A and B are shown apart, each in its own frame.
Chain A
């Protein structure tokens, strides 16, 4: 049963909705603050650029984000209001690096009609009050007292019902707003009101301006000394104040965002719907406005917000494309643009559709999204894990170990790659043609297996075999010294660095040697009570060539021990528990923190914080990486050290914000890895896997990789066809200057190169609504089926559409059949060898019929009426689940014998659906347009027809995201033998660019995690005092109820970010050890 669901974000929202600049983190710091719907990002302006400081989750969808400076304060406060009528005022405490809530509250009214044009939140420039326009006909005031404290809010009746914008005017003795509104004849006017705090009412303001531009939509208040307001229309821009009125015509455009440049308000940046950035200048003589001027500067992403930062740098936040950091140049470039794009910040939003494919055929899903809109439309390939880009490979069986060596101590690059086998050691080197060829190091013993090799000081190399340690000159390649194991003992394990060798022989003998110039000196010997299974002396202290500590893993008592060097004194003994011996230990340091990693024979990895002066091990954590023994090795990429864990599930361990993270490597099984940084293959890794030695470079170390394929047009539907190795998309191209501003296409793309290989233009007014790849009974071919609609300006609802059936022949889309429909084809499904279409109110089944002339046609078989609009359809066997425009989910069944489709059950709630998916035979998942998720259950065991005809709501949850699409699949490689591999998952994509995962958990795990979640709520509090419980409660126009049978994975996984004290607190509340909690939560992070 898929009732118990875990919802987690794999890719956070990237749609930038608000931004502002001010001194937030200290009076001297200049910060850029960005809202990405449910998250706030705080950046610091530095000489190096924008430095990200914090990503703050907010328990609400941000409707307003404003910085303001209260009286007598040295730094700004942040005002945030959410769409569910909560607000908070945040202050940054730079001493503790904490966000402190100065004020918060609920500004909802029991009665009131929410505004159509979104909420407006504004702060008086003289900080006398906060103004909110949340409901039609009401203006809410939260007054400040003279100490900057907020007082009880009150409402004022606002006569204007269709408000387009409200702003405070500068330089008014009483707080004064200007309201831009539309009257009931659709004419637009601006009017001013003074807010009388004493009377709690409006007083007629100093001026009003009637009959503005019909497209006037935006007010820009102008600061002193000029004061007044700019009214931005589609064809004119007007400056208005009590004693001046100036207007200029502009090229028709819709201004989406503005940013003030000068503190005196004489220049503004305007961004329009086509991504054109313009500079609006108010010309003035002293305080008298003499005119307006507008200059186009160049193209950016379509802006939703513009913030002037400093020194001609500007942040462009976008909802439709990547956000950007741009510089305004004084001279135009070759294309005449004054805009230089310096950085791009990925934005996947809006994800209109996506598909899950395995392009590299590695058994791992990748998500290909239709992202962005208008000219910024693109496809994005989102892949979890770290890829290895193969440079060279050679077939080599039975590799037992690998080490890279330099030809001299000062050499920057590695020359030799030592590959050890069970009974020999072979040496590979790069020749002059940059090819890897076999060579010899005369001083090495090549007839036996090597246990360890290393570069050593004084141009030397070290080789450890089972019988001896050999010190060899790297220049002459001749043996300089050799240390022999005592007779009767053979060396089992060994490790080395540039000046030290530590080895263990049978019988628990631990021997410590030091390397001199031409000499190997045995310094210390210790006899341990059990056999030694693994060793490490990787230097993590100040001296990169020498370690003061040795880590030793033991058989029998299953422990890991820390010894001091050179005296081999036991400092710490840490029993590991269990019966699995440690197979690899590693001392390492990330971001200045030292760790001991200890890998077990069953694929588990333990990590400890290591105190390098005392050798103490603390904060033990355990994660499961795979099922086979793990070998740990460090490597460097982009000057940062990471650890590679070779096993059946290779993993890179790295540190971000002082937290260890584990990212899958997109390879199946790796037995050994060593860094191989040669001149020909810089920063590469040598990887031994499945009878093959590969040299490859590694991707950037991060969890999700996103590749952008800009289309220059808006892709709305995507579908992959395995057989033809193609993608097909429905897209539209905007061309505002043409007679028909939109043209719609069906396009075919190669699934490797993502190039357009074939295009089928749709008719005028014809929109591509849906696309699937499917095949029919009695026909072995695979087709792309496209559903379309003719969207005529005079029709409210399309009355005509088409189903087009294409075959891919020689890389071209060939139209095989077409069928006219009586409405828009919103959805298509392959169904029992036939085609099931959702056409306006109807579900219609078509069969694929062979005509006498050998061609095929779609023939209507049966249908089912009874929807408002059947928008989303999923099928399973003979069952059909329909998501309706406004009538929630219904379940239909196809009856073969009767050739009929009948309704079996429905959810009687009035949910306006945005996506549906079938989780299993009985449980269906829905997303609706108030940003909620819910599940319904088919009630087959109901006693009466009435009961059976009702889909029971079993789960409810507020996601806070608008989901456009669900798809079964996984972003990570699923190993059948791992626990997580058994959990079915659904991926979703949202308007804000979120990719999320819904995992259906077993009941016991759900119960456990629910307990953890409620404990975490008490420890991790909502920023601004916002409540997690309220945030996740299912809420739409009709009802608000507590979330049930859904868990917030983002909250649960933030357990791993907590410090030890807080982890202990949670652990005590849940009654499970920290180690166990970490392991279980870490496993969940591997779902995405």
Chain B
């Protein structure tokens, strides 16, 4: 037990050296002064008033992906990646049910 219970870290060896051990059943009575902020330094510089970026996390993700893809398109090695299909290749949507019915 001694091995782990000794050698307590000390920042300033004087700290607590003159602590008068009052009766611990009595509570400590010292009350600090109440601080009131009556100066003008309660407001930080304008650039340190922080808010969360307005861009929604989902939109940010979509934009990021879109940007990535643009970057990828710009890359000269399309063989490794699936390039975006050109819109003109596939004008008919996959879900035919959303097309007006020809039969009627």
**Residue ranges of A at the interface with B (Cβ–Cβ < 8 Å):** 30, 41-43, 45-49, 51-57, 87, 89, 93, 96, 98-109, 138, 140, 142, 149-157, 199-200, 261-263, 267, 279, 281, 293, 295, 297, 308-313, 322, 325, 327-330, 338, 341-346, 656-657, 700, 702, 706, 708, 1019-1025, 1054, 1057-1059, 1062
29 residue pairs A–B, Cβ–Cβ below 8 Å: A30-B11, A45-B16, A47-B17, A48-B20, A98-B37, A98-B39, A104-B48, A107-B50, A107-B52, A109-B52, A149-B48, A151-B50, A154-B52, A154-B60, A155-B52, A267-B4, A311-B10, A327-B16, A330-B2, A342-B24, A344-B25, A657-B33, A1021-B38, A1025-B42, A1025-B43, A1054-B36, A1057-B36, A1058-B36, A1058-B38
Among B18, B41, B42, contact of A47 (Cβ-Cβ < 8 Å): B18
Contact B4 A279 (CB under 8 A): yes
Candidates A149, A267, A1057; contact of B47 at CB < 8 Å: A149
Chain A residue numbers with a CB within 8 Å of B30 are 51-52
Additional 17 contacts, C-beta under 8 A, given A89-B44, A149-B48, A310-B9 = A30-B12, A45-B11, A45-B12, A55-B35, A87-B50, A104-B49, A152-B51, A153-B50, A153-B51, A155-B52, A310-B10, A312-B8, A341-B24, A700-B29, A1020-B38, A1025-B43, A1025-B44
B57 to chain A, nearest CB (A): 5
- Min CB distance B53 to A, Å, is 5
CA of A1021 to CA of B36, assembled, Å: 7
The reply to whether the CB of B13 lies closer than 8 angstroms to some CB of chain A is yes
Q: Using Cβ atoms and an 8 Å threshold, which residues of chain A touch B82?
A: none
Taking a contact as CB atoms under 8 Å apart, the answer to whether A1021 and B24 are in contact is: no
Contacts of A104 in B (CB 8 A): 43-44, 48-50
Residues in A with CB closer than 8 Å to B39 are 96, 98
**5 tightest A-B CB contacts, nearest first:** A105-B50, A52-B32, A657-B33, A103-B48, A312-B8
**Shortest CB–CB separation between residue B83 and chain A, in angstroms?**
23
- Give chain B nearest CB distance to A492 CB in angstroms: 43
Judge whether B103 is part of the interface by a CB distance below 8 angstroms. no
Assess whether B22 is interfacial by the CB under 8 Å rule: yes
CA distance A346 to B64 in the complex (A): 55
Contact A344:B28 (CB < 8 A) given known A310-B15, A1020-B37, A1021-B37: yes
Please determine whether A295 and B4 come into contact, CB atoms closer than 8 angstroms. Answer: yes
Contact of A46 among B15, B44, B52 (CB under 8 A): B15
Tell me which residues across on chain A come within 8 A of B24, comparing CB atoms.
341-344
Chain A hits for B26, CB < 8 A:
344
**B33: which A residues are within 8 A, CB to CB?**
53-55, 656-657
Shortest Cβ distance from B27 into chain A, in angstroms? 4
Q: Are A49 and B16 touching (Cβ within 8 A)? A: yes
Residue among B9, B17, B39, B53 having the largest count of chain A Cβ atoms under 10 Å: B9
**When the two chains form their complex, are residues A41 and B32 in contact, meaning their CB atoms are under 8 A apart?**
yes
B100 within 8 A of A: no
Contacts of A155 in B (CB 8 A): 52, 57
- Assess whether B52 is in contact with A98, with CB atoms less than 8 Å apart: no
Given A142-B50, A155-B57, decide whether A1023 and B35 contact each other with a Cβ distance below 8 A.
yes
Distance in angstroms between the alpha carbons of A708 and B64 in the assembled complex: 62
Q: Output the nearest chain B residue to A322 by Cβ-Cβ distance.
A: B27
Q: How many angstroms between the C-alpha atoms of A1057 and B37 in the bound complex?
A: 11
- Interface size (B, Cβ < 8 Å)? 51
- A700 and chain B: residue at smallest CB distance: B29
Q: Contact between A49 and B19 (Cβ–Cβ < 8 Å)? A: yes
With A310-B10, A342-B24, A1020-B38 as given contacts, are A330 and B44 in contact (CB-CB < 8 Å)? Answer: no
CB contacts (< 8 Å) of B61 on chain A: these are: 157
Within the complex, which residue of B5, B10, B31 is in contact with A279, where a contact is CB–CB below 8 Å? B5
Contacts of A51 in B (CB 8 A): 30
The prevalent SS among residues of A at the interface is strand
Chain A residues with CB below 8 A from B98, complex form? none
Known: A149-B48, A700-B29. A101 touches B41 (CB 8 A): yes
Given A41-B32, A1020-B37, A1058-B38, A310 and B12 contact (CB-CB distance below 8 Å):
yes
The closest CB in chain B to the CB of A152 belongs to: B53
Is residue B101 contacting chain A, with contact meaning CB distance below 8 A?
no
* A47 lies within 8 A of B16 (CB): yes
**Min C-beta distance of B64 to chain A, whole Å:** 8
Give Cα A310–Cα B35 distance, bound, in whole angstroms.
Answer: 26
Determine whether B74 belongs to the interface, using a CB cutoff of 8 Å to chain A. no
Give the distance in Å from the alpha carbon of A41 to the alpha carbon of B30 in the complex: 12
Q: A200 to B44, alpha carbons, bound, how many Å?
A: 25
Instruction: For chain B, residues 41 to 78, give those with C-beta under 8 angstroms from any C-beta of chain A.
Output: 41-44, 47-53, 57, 60-61, 64
- Chain B residues lying within 8 Å of A311, measured Cβ to Cβ, are 8, 10, 13, 15-17
Among A45, A330, A702, A1025, point to the contact of B15 (Cβ < 8 A): A45
- Distance A41 CA – B33 CA, assembled complex (angstroms): 10
CB <8 Å contact, A55 and B42:
no
Residues of B within 8 Å of A100, CB to CB, are 41
Interface centre among B5, B14, B18 (most CB of A within 10 A): B5
Cα(A267)–Cα(B1), bound, Å:
13
Q: How far is the CA of A57 from the CA of B34 in the complex (A)?
A: 8
**How long is the Cα–Cα vector from A226 to B83 in the complex, in angstroms?**
47
Chain A residues in 8 Å Cβ range of B5: 279, 295, 297, 328-330, 338
Residue of B whose beta carbon sits closest to that of A1051? B36
A101→B60 contact, CB < 8 A: no
User: Could you say which residues of chain A place their CB within 8 Å of the CB of B96?
Assistant: none
Q: Give the most central of B12, B26, B28, B52: most A CB within 10 Å.
A: B52
Residues on the A chain within 8 Å of B93, using CB = none
Nearest CB in chain B to that of A297: its residue: B5
Task: Give the chain B neighbours of A262 by CB distance below 8 A.
Answer: 9
- Taking a contact as CB atoms under 8 Å apart, the answer to whether B21 and A103 are in contact is no
- A151 to B10 alpha-carbon distance, docked (Å): 36
A659 to B44, CA, bound (A): 30
Whole-angstrom distance between the alpha carbons of A1025 and B15 in the complex?
Answer: 34
Contacts of B4 in A (CB 8 A): 267, 279, 281, 293, 295
- Chain B residue, CB-CB nearest to A101: B44
A343 & B22 in contact (Cβ 8 Å cutoff): yes
- Please name the residue on chain B nearest to A1062 by beta carbon: B38
Of B13, B25, B48, B51, the most chain A CB neighbours within 10 A belong to B48
Residues of A within 8 Å of B12, CB to CB, are: 30, 45, 310
Min CB gap B48→A, angstroms: 4
List residues of chain B with CB within 8 A of the CB of A293.
4
Nearest Cβ on chain A to B14's Cβ, whole angstroms:
5
